[in-house]
Structure formats: C-alpha cells, structure tokens
Structure 1
Amino acid sequence: MVARRPRTGHDWKLLAQACGTLLEKLPDMVDEYLRRLAAQSPTYGLVIPYDQHWREAEEAMRIGIEAMRAPRASPRRDLAHAELLGRRRAQQGLPLDLLVNAYREAGRLTWESLLDAAGAQDPERAAVAMQSATMVWSAVDEQVDTVSEAYRATELELRRRTDERLQALLDALLDGRRDPELTSRAAAGLDLPEQGRYAVVVLRVERRDGREPFHRLIQGTGVRFVWRMRADCELGVAALAPDTGLDALASLLDGRCPGPGGISPVVEGLAELGRARQLAELALRTCAPDTTGIVRLDRRMSAALVVSQPELAQLLVSDVFDALLGLDPADRAVLLETLDAWLACEGSAGRAAGRLYCHRNTVFNRLKRLEQLTSRSLSRPRDLTEMTLALDAHRLTQG
C-alpha cells in the first residue's frame, strides 16, 4: 500500500483553482441540484418556494466551496449557515430526513463537479482532488450534524411554544372566558368540537413519589381527556361521546385515580367549561379530609349546599348539634358514626349494626339518644334533613 504524501502548498493552489472553476459553474450546479431533489421527493417543492430554495442552495454551495479553498478559516461559515438553515427548515416544516438528504446530495454533486473540473484540466489536479475526498466528506458530515442539531432544537422550541399556546387557551376556557373567537381557536388547536358534551374533572394533587401523573393512567372508550396540570390539582376536560354519561366517566376514573377528586355535571360546549370547573371544584370540596374516591356533584348536592355556604354551615352545626358538641369526643364520635351509618344504610338499623359490628338495639339506643340531644326526630322529614345537613357540615369542617 502506497502511503499518501503530505499535501503541499502547490496542491492547495491546484485545489483552489479547481474550486474557482466550480464557482463559475455554480448556477448550473444549483439547477442540477434542485432537479435531483425534485426527482427524489415532491415535498421539497411543496414546502420551500422555488426561488427561495434556489437562492439558499446557491449561497450554501458557494459557502461550502469557498470553505474547501480555505479549510483552516475561522469561524466556519459553512457551519454557521447550516445552523441557520436547520432552524429555517424546522420552521417551514420540512422533514428532517429530507433536509439531511439535501445536504448529502449537495455534497455529492459538489464532489462530482470537483472531480470533473479537475480532471478536464490537468491529471495533476485530478490527483489533488481525489486526495481531498476525506476533507470534503468530513465537512459534509459536520454540516449534517450541525443542521440536524439546529433543526431538532428549533423543533423542540416550536413544540414547546405550541403546547404553551394550547395550554393558555385551555386555561382561558377553564377560567371562564366565553368569547367566540377564543372558543373557536381552542376548538381548532385542541381538536375538540365547539358544541359537544363535556365534563370537568378536578383531582387534588398529593405527593406521588415519582409515579406517573394520574391522567397518564386513564384511558377508555367513549371519553377523550385533555389534561392541565396546576400547582395544587390536575384539571381534566372530558369530551364525552353522545352515548357516554357520567356513570361511565366515574367508572373509568374509579380505581385509576386515588383521589380525592370531583366531577362536574355534563355541560354543552367549550364555552361552558369555566362553569363546569367551578362545579367540579365544588364537588371536590364535599370530600372529607380522609376521602380517597372521586365524587360526582350530582350525587353530593346536599353536601355541596353546605360547603358553598360555610357561615351558614357553622350556624347549622351549632344549632343542631349544640348539646352533642359538649360531649366527650369519643362519645360524640360514636353517635355521629352511628347516624352516618344509618343514613348510608337507608334507615336500616339492622344493616347499620352489621356495618358498625354491634347489635341493632344498640343502633336504636344511640339514635334515640341523638334525638334527645338534638331535640329532633329522625321520623320527621324536616328534622331528618336538618340533621343530615348538619352531619355533612360537621364532617366537612372538621380536621
């Protein structure tokens, strides 16, 4: 194997002359380059206007050829131009693989033209050109690396900006803005119908120990979720299919979200998401401190009335449970637990006794004592309503 001799000053002079010939032929080279790209993919012509593409190709190839004439020049203009084009092509939406192919095609054409120009004039120049292969393709590889890195960075930034715009639109809807232009833009950006069936889910954020956010664990048919993370909660907009109701939504969330969380009633249209968010938050507020499930507002209306009027709730507790609140805490807790179990069992003392692990007569005795302490009768509807609301208010305002 014959060792390659070191390149001399004379060699550099011959290479510079060959590059000068290429610059004279540059317009024809650009025409050929664009013909090759068009033959490989029509996407180039669809994404980049021809006149713009021609000018940019001419500039890039000229800078590349001039870099071959002075390879030790600093800074590298060819790499600076590659970075510029990488950002521009990402903004235009040209696929990265086509951009990389375009750079390699430009390098291939330049190399072929260099060999033709050198060989047509002098065998010595041809030998010098052949000796430059490593330099030429190394430069092309560096340009490809630079253009790819700039493309990916720009693409990531564009995606971040798009996500931020969509999140801002979703925030505006959830905060109650209803103007038609905003609703139309949000529908287009989020790919949601302006008029459709929606419910809002609010999940209280607890410490997750590095686990996935709740919403990434939720998938189901008939429901499409769009989620928004906030400092203290996760907000989910549930787009419901025509035949999907709150039962299906609650079933989908149950067991997948530790909770606590609240679900709004169904609203019609994106413009109603602000109201739905408020109702979902109200449902969440009906959850006692130890609640771990997801609750629906339409199943917690009495508790919602209580938490929406905190001052009246406190007055109700004081009025109904005044004597009860003076008892020993353990004694008071037993009586309230018995009332809660009796209500949950739809007034069945036997079922409540099974839940409380006591005799049914014990349940009757405790309820009788409650009636005496509150001066109310559980057999009178109005009194029963007051005691039920007072129990909700006491539970939701304690701890």
Structure 2
Amino acid sequence: MGARRPRTGDDWKLLAQACAALLERLPELVDEHVRELHDHSPAYGRVIGYDQHWQEARDAMRIGIETISAPRASPRRDLDHAEWLGRRRAEQGLPLDLMVHAYRLAGHQVWDALLEGAGSDARRLAVLMQSATMVWSAVDAQADTASEAYRATELELRRRTDEQLQALLDALLEGARSAEVAARAAAGLDLPERGRYAVVVLRTARRDLTHRRLEAEGLRFVWRMRTDCEVGVVSLDEGTGLDALAELMEGRCPGPGGISPVVVGLTELGRARRLAELALRTCPADAPAIVRLDRRMSGALVVSQPDLSSLLVSEVLGALLDLDPADRAVLLETLDVWLDCEGSAGRAASRLYCHRNTVFNRLRRLEQLTSRSLSRPRDLTEMTLALDAFRLSPG
C-alpha cells in the first residue's frame, strides 16, 4: 500500500459540507436512532422516556457531528458532553451496556449517513475513507469517556446509599422506633422489617475484623463500627436461636462481647443494643468472652445498679475485704467454682485440685466471715449477687 495522501484544505471543506448536510437531516437521524434503541430494549423508554431521550440524543448527535469537521485544536465538546451524559445515565439507572450500545449505534448511523450523502462522488468518498479512523476514534473516545463517568458516578451513588443506610441503621440502634425508618432500612438492607433479631456488641483493643466474615445457615450479620466497640445486627431465621449464634461466635471473635436476647422487629434494635451492652458489662476484664445476657442475669442486675452493687459488696463481703488479697482470692474462687458446679463439693474439688474437705472448710469459713449460711436460699442469693458485684466492680 502506498502512503496515505495528506489531507488538504479542500478535504476539510468537503468534510465540513458533508457534516453540515447531515445536520440538516438531524431530526430524521434522531428519530431512527431512538426508535432502534427502544426496539432493542424497553429499558430505554422505562428509564429515560421517549421525549426526553429524543432531546438528549439530538444534542449528543449534533455535538458529535460538529466534532468531526471541527479544527483539531478545538476543545472536545463531545467529550465534555459524553462525561455529562455518562453521569446522567448512571443517576437514571440505565444499565452501562445499554448506554455503550447507544454510542455504538449512533456512530454507525452517522457514518452510514455520511456515506449515503457522498453518493457516487469519488472525491467525497475518498475524503470520508481518509477520515474513517478519525470518526471511529471519536466515537470510541466518547463511549470510553461516558463509561468512565458512569462508573465513577455509580460508585459515588453506591457510597451515598451505603451512608444513608448506615445512618438509618444507626438511628434504629440508638432507639428510633419510627415505622418509616424501619421500612426504609429493611428495604435498603434487604432485611425483614418484622423479623427476629439479636444484637452483638464487641469491645476490642485491636481491630481484628475476621468476625465480619461470619456466616452460617439461618444467621445474617450487619456490622457497624463505633469508636470503642463494634455492633452487629444479626437476623435470625425461624428456628435459629441464640445457641447457634453463640456457638458460631465462640472462638471466632475477640472478646469481650455481649449478646442480647432475641427481639422482634427492627424498631426493637435500640433495646436489643442496650441489653447487649449490659451483657458486655458482665464480662470481667481478666476473662474476656462472648456472653449472652440470658445467661448472666444476676451479673447484669448488679452492674445495672452501681449503688446497690457497692452496697452488696460492703454489707455482705465486708469482713472478707480485710483479708490478705491472696487469702480472699482463694475463698472467693472456691465459692465461684462451687456455685458453677451447682453446689457439688466433689466436682468443685476436682476443678480446684484439692480435697473435697478443703472445699467444705473454705465454704464454712466464708459463712463465718459473712454471717450467712449457704444452705439458706435468701443468704445464698445475697452471696451470689455480692460475688458478681465484687468480680465486676471497676476497682
């Protein structure tokens, strides 16, 4: 093949004439363009609407045709318009592939119309053939620019939507009981508005986010990060309860953490969050765990009433507080283990690595120091609550 002939001023003049003639046929071209698009997919009419689509297609096609014959140093108005149209189509929700299809179709229609206008004029045809690469490069650049703007806008819209949904979820967790807020959150997060929920509150020193990947049949997690903790909203299928949730989280999440009882409906998330935080407060700092409120009711009672908690410790365990710390720790550990073993001295002795008589001796000493009997239900209740209050006291 020989070298391509340089384009002359006469060539640009002929190209400008061809584009001017094409602009006179613009309404006809736009009619054909929009009709073919709507035949290709009903989404164009559903998302954009025929009249609006016709006007926007006319503007885009006019700017594209004018670009073909514009001097090379001219500003790329076609790319500015493509960027605007890409953002608009993303905001309207038209699928990206349909937007790109519209650009490709417009390119073919403009090119076919240019060839048709040249007829059998060899000179005009030669000028068009020499301009083919420029025309199709312009169409590609327009489609690429529109696509980049579309994707950027789509990401921004998704970010805004996520922020709005997070704000709705935060409002519910803070105690909002608005049916409208619950309905919007349910629709955006794809959660049942009247479903069964539990809330998990985790307080961690490090940001170990492996728990965010927790998955199990019947359980779905939505996490929110706070300054001092993380809050998880757990959607529970019918038949899935707290046993399954606690088992899944055990050993998989850094403690301490608290699990609320099951509540019904998104409007109850505020109450569930408060109960989960109460469960979290029953976790001693030296024994981090993920605990359920329904298994820590006595501890929850004392931590929720700090004045009563302090009074219980001083009134019930007063004499114990004067002992040597090591001696006091042995007695309280014995009581704790004995209670955990449901009052079995033999089982408690096995866990404490001592003789059962040693357990009995320590318990009798506790009774003497507290002036209470572990065989009397009321005294036993006070001792149990006082022990929880002592274990969970901040000092």
> Which TM-score bucket, shorter chain as reference?
over 0.9
What do the CA deviations read for 1:171-225 (whole angstroms, capped 9, x no partner)? 11111111333233333333333323222221223303xx535232x11222333
Report deviation, 1:136.
1.1
**Corresponding residue of 2:244:** 248
Distance 2:373 2:167 in 1: 53
Query: 2-side partners of 1:71 and 1:316: how far apart?
Result: 90
What's 1:215 paired with?
212
The equivalences for 1:325-336 within 5 A come to 325-336=321-332
Deviations 1:14-70 (A, max 9, x none): 111111111111111112212332333222222210111111111101101111111
Q: Which residue of 1 aligns with 2:304?
A: 308
Q: Distance in 1 between matches of 2:74 and 2:376?
A: 94
Structure 1: distance between partners of 2:334 and 2:156: 59
1:398, distance to aligned residue in structure 2 (A):
4.3
SS in 2 for 1:351: helix
Aligned residue identity for 2:282: T
Deviation beyond 3 Å, 4+ runs, structure 1: none
CA distance in structure 2 between the partners assigned to 1:168 and 1:347 by the alignment: 49
Instruction: Measure, in 2, the Cα distance between the counterparts of 1:107 and 1:332.
Output: 88
What is the one-letter code of the residue matched to 1:308?
S
**Is residue 67–residue 73 contact of structure 1 (8 Å, CA) maintained in 2?**
no
- Cα distance in 1 between the residues matched to 2:121 and 2:241: 82
Measured in 2, the distance between the counterparts of 1:68 and 1:205 equals 62
Residue 396 of structure 1, CA deviation:
0.9
TM-score normalised by structure 2 residue count: 0.95
Partner of 1:180: 179
Quote the residue 1:57 is aligned against. Answer: 57
**Distance in structure 2 (CA, Å) of the matches to 1:192 and 1:37:** 36
How far apart are 1:314 and its partner, in Å? 1.4
Q: Which residue pairs with 1:396 in the alignment?
A: 392
356 and 93 in structure 1: CA distance in 2 versus 1, 3 angstrom threshold: same
- SS for the counterpart of 2:222 is strand
* Greater alpha carbon shift after TM alignment, 333-342 vs 224-233: 224-233
Deviation of residue 266 (structure 1)?
Answer: 1.8
Partners of 2:175 and 2:143 in 1: CA distance: 48
Q: CA deviation at 1:71?
A: 4.2
- 375, 378, 396: which is aligned to 2:374? 378
Shift of 1:2: 0.6
- Please point out which of 263, 266, 277 is paired with 1:267: 263
Aligned residues: CA RMSD: 1.8
- The one-letter amino acid of 2:240's match is T
Q: For residues 257-300 of structure 1, what are the alpha-carbon distances to aligned partners after superposition, in whole Å with 9 as ceiling and x for unaligned?
A: 23221111122222222111111111111111133322111111
Look up the match of 1:70. Answer: 70
Structure 1 partner of 2:341 = 345
| 1:291 alignment partner in structure 2 | 287
Q: Please give the alpha-carbon distance, in whole angstroms, between the structure 1 residues aligned to 2:290 and 2:236.
A: 18
Q: Contact 2:200 / 2:273 at 8 angstroms: preserved in 1?
A: yes
Whether the aligned pair in 2 keeps the contact of 1:115 and 1:130 (CA below 8 Å) is no
Alignment partner, residue 94 of structure 2: 94
Map of 2:85 onto structure 1: 85
Q: Which amino acid aligns with 1:319?
A: E
2:193 match: 194
Query: Which structure 2 residue ranges, 5 or more long, are not aligned?
Result: none
Q: Deviations over 1:345-365 (max 9, x none)?
A: 111122112112222222222
Q: Report the residue type matching 2:248 in the other structure.
A: L
Q: Aligned equivalents of 1:205 and 1:188: distance in 2?
A: 31
Deviation at 1:73, TM superposition (A): 4.3
Q: Distance in 2 between matches of 1:370 and 1:247?
A: 35
Distance 2:158 2:246 in 1: 32
Distance in 2 separating the partners of 1:237 and 1:220: 14
C-alpha contact (below 8 Å) 2:199/2:272 kept by paired residues: yes
The corresponding residue for 1:23 is 23
In structure 1, what is the equivalent of residue 165 of structure 2?
Answer: 166
8 A contact 1:23–1:65 mirrored in 2: yes
Distance (whole Å) between structure 1 residues aligned to residue 81 and residue 204 of structure 2 = 47
Q: Is the Cα–Cα contact under 8 Å of residues 195 and 269 in structure 1 kept in the other structure?
A: yes
**Partner-residue secondary structure (3-state), 1:132:** helix
Deviations 1:106-143 (A, max 9, x none): 1122122222223x162111111111111111111211
User: What code does the residue aligned with 2:178 have?
Assistant: D
Question: How does the TM-score come out when normalised to structure 1?
Answer: 0.94
Letter of the structure 2 residue corresponding to residue 323 of structure 1 = A
Equivalent-residue separation in structure 1 for 2:376 and 2:40 (angstroms): 85
Report the equivalent of 1:205: 204
Amino acid at match of 1:331: D
Identity %: 75
What stretches of structure 1 of length at least 5 have no aligned partner? none
